[in-house]
């Protein structure tokens, strides 16, 4: 009985060893979006606080911290490349 235990153990060990050795690692394939594809999928952010309103608040002597808080609260995003096209890539 002991002899069969060794044989069974040997066979199991051989099967496990060959199973691990035959699996070659493969690189995971990741399909990434190009910036153009991302731009098509992402809706344009519409500022709820316009640049003109920010200038008006500044001219009304509102503190910079308050203006910044208003911008943050509005979740507005601005593309300053439209203003400074020569500096943007």
Question: Alpha-carbon distance 32 to 38, whole Å?
Answer: 10
31 domain residue, yes or no: no
87 domain residue, yes or no: yes
Q: Which helix (H) or strand (E) holds 69?
A: helix 64-74
25 domain residue, yes or no: no
72 domain residue, yes or no: yes
Q: Give residue-wise pLDDT tens across range 39-51.
A: 888 877 677 888 8
Structural domains counted in the chain:
1
29 domain residue, yes or no: no
6 domain residue, yes or no: no
Judge whether residue 83 has pLDDT over 80: no
10 domain residue, yes or no: no
Q: Give residue-wise pLDDT tens across range 14-40.
A: 777 666 555 667 788 889 999 889 888
Q: For position 22, what pLDDT does the model report?
A: 56
30 domain residue, yes or no: no
Mean pLDDT of the chain, nearest integer: 79
For the entire predicted model, the pTM comes to 0.41
């Amino acid at each position: 009985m002991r002899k069969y235990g060794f044989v069974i153990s040997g066979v199991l060990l051989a099967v496990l060893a060959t199973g691990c050795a035959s699996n070659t690692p493969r690189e995971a394939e990741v399909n990434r979006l190009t910036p153009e594809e991302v731009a098509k999928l992402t809706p344009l952010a519409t500022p709820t606080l316009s640049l003109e309103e920010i200038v008006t608040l500044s001219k009304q002597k509102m503190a910079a911290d308050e203006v910044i808080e208003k911008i943050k609260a509005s979740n507005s995003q601005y593309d300053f490349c439209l203003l400074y096209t020569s500096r943007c890539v």
